[in-house]
Amino acid sequence: MIDDGRIGSDCSVFCGHCQLQATGSVVGALTDDDPPISGGLYLVRCSHCRRGVLVEGHFVVFPFGEDENDYASHLNTLWPKVQSTLSHLVPGDLQRAYEEARTCFSAGAYTAAAVMVRRTLEGVCADQGVTAKVLMRALQELRDTGKIEGRLFDWAQALRVLGNQGAHFTGQDVDREDAADALALCEALLDYIYVLTIRYEEFMQRRKPSP
């Protein structure tokens, strides 16, 4: 049945257009369950970009709530989804670590996202045979051995979340901006090492005069 009971309700959804968790309002609903739990497909308008997001899930109306507007929603975004931006050339375990960082970021878990970025970068260093244990030292080693360029290292150094041992319990949460910067650096570094460098080496190989 088409249920318009939830139309106009506010909810929290992951907007694939904005790539962030946003508030939205239900503009269309297709459900087949009865209250207090109404599950189904919902079309939600993101309050950030005003575009439509298709979600599935349910609204739970609290039995002892003030009125029918006292509810919780558990909604999964079906469209548009988080887009993976990494090349297939990036090793699988590093891709998974990076995607997990993005998933944390999308859910608004910025401290967890920063922790996953550190983990990804540590993975890159290990994969590249770096021996230094502390992340900043390890990145320095990547720079000194010519595996990353100076600007990437300077960028990493400038990121507070990477420098202040964000993985440890400091009582300070990571904010959205810092987590977004850390993700951007992580992606640039993966691209540099696994895409640009490999393409460049292949290119140089092809240009070598055959003996």
The window from 44-52, 95-103, 120-128, 139-147 that contacts Zn ion (CB under 5 A) reads 44-52
The window from 14-22, 106-114, 164-172, 203-211 that contacts Zn ion (CB under 5 A) reads 14-22
- The DSSP secondary-structure symbol of 107 reads T
The window from 40-48, 54-62, 107-115, 149-157 that contacts Zn ion (CB under 5 A) reads 40-48
Tell me if 48 contacts Zn ion by CB under 5 A: yes
Nearer to Zn ion, 22 or 189 (CB): 22
Tell me if 11 contacts Zn ion by CB under 5 A: no
Residue 146: CB atoms within 10 Å = 8
Q: Burial letters for 148-176: b for 16+ Cβ neighbours within 10 Å, e otherwise?
A: beeebbebbeebebbeeebbeeeeeebee
- Whose CA is closest to 2, among 36, 33, 24? 33
- Strands 20-31, 37-46: pairing is antiparallel
- Strands 20-31, 10-15: pairing is antiparallel
Alpha-carbon dihedral angle through residues 186, 191, 197, 199, given to the nearest 10 degrees: 170
Nearer to Zn ion, 48 or 143 (CB): 48
**3, 7, 17, 89: residue in contact with Zn ion (rule CB under 5 A):** 17
Nearer to Zn ion, 48 or 160 (CB): 48
Tell me if 46 contacts Zn ion by CB under 5 A: yes
Binding site for Zn ion (CB under 5 A): 15, 17-18, 46, 48-49
